[in-house]
Amino acid sequence: MKKIALVAAVCLAGFSGVALSQGIQQTKGSFVDKFRQLDEVLPTPNVYRTAGGQPGHQYWQQEVDYQIDVTLDEANQRLAGTEAITYQNNAPDTLSYLWLQLDQNQHRSDSIAELGSTFNSANPQTDTPARISLDSLRSLQYMEDTELGYEINSVTLDGGAELAFTIVGTLMRVDLAQPLRPGQSVQFTVDYAYNIVNGDVLYPRGGYEHFPDDEREGGNHIFAIAQWFPRLVAYTDYEGWTNKEFLGAGEFTLEFGDYEVAITVPEDHIVAATGELLNANQVLTAAQRERLQQAQNAARPVYIVTPEEALENEREGTAQTVTWRFGAERVRDFAWASSRKFIWDAKGYQQPGADQEQILAMSFYPKEGGTLWSEYSTEAIIHTLEVYSRFTFDYPYPTAQSVSAKFVGGMEYPMITFNGPRATLQDDGSRTYSLAEKRFLIGVVIHEIGHSYFPMIVNSDERQWTWMDEGINSYLDSVAGREWDPDIPGGAEPRYIVDYMLSQNQQPIMTQSDSVTSLGPNAYTKPATAINILRETIMGRELFDFAFKEYSQLWKFKRPTPSDFFRTMEEASGVDLDWFWHGWFYTTDHVDIGLNRIYEMRLDTENPDIDYSRQREIEKSLPPSVLVERNRAEGLQTWVERNPDVRDFYDDNDQFTVTNKDRNSYNAFLEGLEDWERAVLERAVSEDRKYYILEFANEGGLVMPIILEVEYADGSKETLRFPAEIWRRSPAQVKKLLVTSKQITNVVVDPLQETADANIENNYDPRRIIPSRIESFKSDGGGGLDGRDIMQDIKTELKPAEAEDDGSSDN
Ligand SMILES: [Zn+2]
């Protein structure tokens, strides 16, 4: 190779020697391979799950059908039921026992959830006393006073023979009379009861809410009933029985099946439930049935029970009961709600050409929901179906419902969701809400209805991998939220996850849900952000949307594991994402790509008549010596100046003087070049491009693409994108050569902040002044502006100017 020197003429950000420690041959020491094959940690593909992430040719899953008769005892807040279970063994294995989930046992005082809970307050052996909230004291008293957990009265075979059962915490093993062979099914009946949990005290996923000062003496209730019958534990090809104790955080993994449920409640109650109402003729009035028909093609939600009717309803109360019958096919669970307080509205949603062409979106809420519910709940359901179906598959069920249950916050079941936010009653009788509460209601309805797709249809294992339903769903709810109103803050926005990714004591996303310390960012926003980045930055929308739809369709009504998701996304897009899954899902690394320095270089021509004078210019451009300048300012004469008569050749010729010896050697160099080499050199010299070396550091550990916005001296800008593979052989530091015809004045890394880069101050060359805020002392320290109930505050009258003298404020 001939020597072609690139000489650094300008260095935009200083220089320090950096050891070349990241060699490709290095296999020990600090080198970390960020691009290792993910197959090293994924399960080996088999006949049930292919190497491409598809259900294998012998894929199987169990089916469990339930026929349940249940009675709600409102006066005693108690529920009693009989369930007939049909268990179809589609596994290639013979089963001698079945496991059932007894989630109500979570609330028993001897449960692992309760005994394993810890007290987190200051050590009392200090000057400050330990603290316990009145809320916690109330919980302790309630658990002491109330018998919680399932009462299992009997487990019997179809013919009436008793089956032995053993209760293990929140689980129950039922020993079968004979082994259940592949392809066989067994029918048995469980007779049970339990006291419904007070939602205002223990904040359970299912329970009751009491309105003590309501229209009716003694108050009214909303019952939001979930995890209310012994449900089969899933039996899977990847884990066998998924019998992990229910501790409260990790949710469920369940089997698909058909349900017929008869719910007996006080006659003046309205019941909402998974599935379709089968006996409308018996439980609804003719007017209500007529309104349901009108709702099918209505432009806006139609009241089935109007606010006035609901108010009338809740004043009465009755000892009569009525039985509501519901049917649901191919669902993994069943939940319901019941109250005489319910206002009920409905609006149809059409899916032309789909298996399920007509869907009824419905909301059930008390007057306390106000216009927040009547305006937005049902519309938000339909918006969710529109957006989610576009990304996945047609919504396959006949109903989609939102029920107001304040203690729940937000919780999902097939075709039905429980959502918390409500309006606030003001002295003037109006019900108002803050912007935050409005966004919360719309956001939570989108999120919970979104769960109809993940995990209610794409049936991932929530207990093991919360991110598979919460992360994917939070990603899509952020897409749907932005399509509703772009000003709603999106949970998948990369810049919002930065603080969590910098935090200590965090776990990788792949951690089992009960072990995660911060489930919100870990299982919701971090995976949602990762998926958002995957679509917008790594894969691009076209490749992502195709692969994501493929995953959704392959696994609808089936049971995917993380490896199936990882593999399908790669298989269908052709993009190697092993590094991405590794970095985002298996480590706690964060993103921080820094642009450490840029060198601007000019190509030497090798011609001494040109290169020497260029070098002379560079030397002249250096700042003069301070010492010499000050000597001169003081009038000090140098020896040379004082003795001008003593001179020689070097006083008139500097070290950059060109001689014929230099020219001869240049000519000899040119003659020694091959024709193509000379052509390359001549072209490069005549083009006289600028050569820039950009030095990047990976400070966060997580490899990501390098996205650059480059601004040139003429004011033009250009965005350059280099894939994450740039870090493959040198994961801590890389240099990139840019050759341009224009001079670079400015470079910004990740200009749109799309990679969750945790420290953006090292993204600028030259560095920038950081915009921020400073707040003076005597200021309103309270919450954000959107936490104010402006709807109410706007009614505040302006005080006359002199009233300000007393310094009081009613805000
Ligand atoms: Zn969720």
pLDDT interval class at 614 (50, 70, 90): very high
Position 121 scores a pLDDT of: 72
Position 5 scores a pLDDT of: 44
Position 805 scores a pLDDT of: 44
Cα distance between residue 312 and residue 340, in whole Å: 9
Please list the helix, strand and coil fractions of the chain in percent, rounded to the nearest 5, in that order. 30, 25, 40
Kindly state the percentage of the chain with pLDDT values over 70. 94
Q: How far is CA 364 from CA 58, 224, 280, in A?
A: 43, 11, 17
Q: Is the pLDDT of residue 660 over 50?
A: yes
What number is the average pLDDT over the span 99-117? 90
pLDDT interval class at 25 (50, 70, 90): very low
What number is the average pLDDT over the span 304-325? 94
| Ligand 1 mean position, distance from CA 526 (Å) | 14
Position 18 scores a pLDDT of: 32
| Ligand 1 mean position, distance from CA 411 (Å) | 7
What number is the average pLDDT over the span 660-674? 95
595 neighbors 765 (Cβ within 8 angstroms)? yes
pLDDT interval class at 122 (50, 70, 90): low
54-100 pLDDT per residue, tens: 999 999 999 999 999 999 999 999 999 999 999 999 999 999 999 99
Q: Is the pLDDT of residue 811 over 60?
A: no
pLDDT interval class at 3 (50, 70, 90): very low
Q: Would you give the end-to-end CA distance of the chain in angstroms? A: 78
| Ligand 1 mean position, distance from CA 237 (Å) | 25
Maximum Cα–Cα distance across the chain: 129
Q: What angle do CA 293, 299, 301 make, to 5 degrees?
A: 65
| Ligand 1 mean position, distance from CA 489 (Å) | 17
Cα distance between residue 796 and residue 150, in whole Å: 52
Among 104, 95, 81, 396, smallest CA distance to 256 is for 396
- Look up residue 103 and give its two tokens: 């989630």
3-class DSSP string for 528-560: HHHHHHHHHHHHCHHHHHHHHHHHHHHHCCECC
Tell whether the torsion through CA atoms of 117, 515, 521 and 332 is positive or negative: negative
376 neighbors 442 (Cβ within 8 angstroms)? yes
Residue 353 C-alpha from the chain's centroid: 32
| Ligand 1 mean position, distance from CA 443 (Å) | 11
Position 788 scores a pLDDT of: 84
701 neighbors 587 (Cβ within 8 angstroms)? yes
| Ligand 1 mean position, distance from CA 473 (Å) | 7
What number is the average pLDDT over the span 451-455? 97
Work out the burial of residue 664: count CB atoms within 10 Å of its CB; fewer than 13 is exposed, 13-18 middle, 19 or more buried: exposed
252 neighbors 174 (Cβ within 8 angstroms)? no
Cα radius of gyration rounded to whole Å, the chain: 35
494-529 pLDDT per residue, tens: 999 999 999 998 999 999 988 998 999 999 999 999
Q: Is the pLDDT of residue 807 over 50?
A: no
755 neighbors 593 (Cβ within 8 angstroms)? yes
Position 770 scores a pLDDT of: 81
Position 778 scores a pLDDT of: 67
What number is the average pLDDT over the span 612-628? 93
More confident residue, 424 or 783: 424
Q: How far is CA 141 from CA 116, 134, 214, 743, in A?
A: 18, 10, 24, 74
245 neighbors 169 (Cβ within 8 angstroms)? yes
| Ligand 1 mean position, distance from CA 737 (Å) | 46
Q: Is the pLDDT of residue 119 over 50?
A: yes
Among 347, 344, 325, smallest CA distance to 334 is for 325
Question: Which residues have a beta carbon within 5 Å of ligand 1, which is an ion?
Answer: 470
| Ligand 1 mean position, distance from CA 563 (Å) | 21
Whether the pTM exceeds 0.95: the reply is no
Cα distance between residue 340 and residue 329, in whole Å: 27
Neighbours of 499 (CB within 10 A): 11
pLDDT interval class at 488 (50, 70, 90): confident
218-238 pLDDT per residue, tens: 899 999 999 999 999 999 999
Q: Three-state DSSP class for 246?
A: coil
Position 27 scores a pLDDT of: 59
| Ligand 1 mean position, distance from CA 482 (Å) | 18
Q: How far is CA 457 from CA 451, 526, 538, 556, in A?
A: 8, 23, 27, 5
181-210 pLDDT per residue, tens: 999 999 999 999 999 999 999 888 899 999
DSSP structure class, residue 651? G
Q: Which of 241-250, 264-273, 410-419, 742-751 has the lowest mean pLDDT?
A: 241-250
Position 22 scores a pLDDT of: 35
Q: What angle do CA 634, 638, 641 make, to 5 degrees?
A: 115
366-375 pLDDT per residue, tens: 999 999 999 9
- Look up residue 98 and give its two tokens: 């079945």
| Ligand 1 mean position, distance from CA 231 (Å) | 20
Position 109 scores a pLDDT of: 84
pLDDT, averaged across the chain: 91
pLDDT interval class at 16 (50, 70, 90): very low
Cα distance between residue 150 and residue 230, in whole Å: 9
Work out the burial of residue 120: count CB atoms within 10 Å of its CB; fewer than 13 is exposed, 13-18 middle, 19 or more buried: exposed
Strand intervals (E) in 200-301:
207-211, 220-225, 231-232, 235-236, 240-241, 257-266, 270-273, 276-277
435-451 pLDDT per residue, tens: 999 999 999 999 999 99
Cα distance between residue 604 and residue 493, in whole Å: 47
Kindly state the percentage of the chain with pLDDT values over 90. 81
| Ligand 1 mean position, distance from CA 470 (Å) | 5
| Ligand 1 mean position, distance from CA 442 (Å) | 14
Position 779 scores a pLDDT of: 58
328-338 pLDDT per residue, tens: 999 999 999 99
| Ligand 1 mean position, distance from CA 165 (Å) | 33
pLDDT interval class at 671 (50, 70, 90): very high
Position 17 scores a pLDDT of: 31
Q: Three-state DSSP class for 324?
A: strand
277 neighbors 326 (Cβ within 8 angstroms)? yes
Which residues pair with residue 325 across a beta bridge?
262
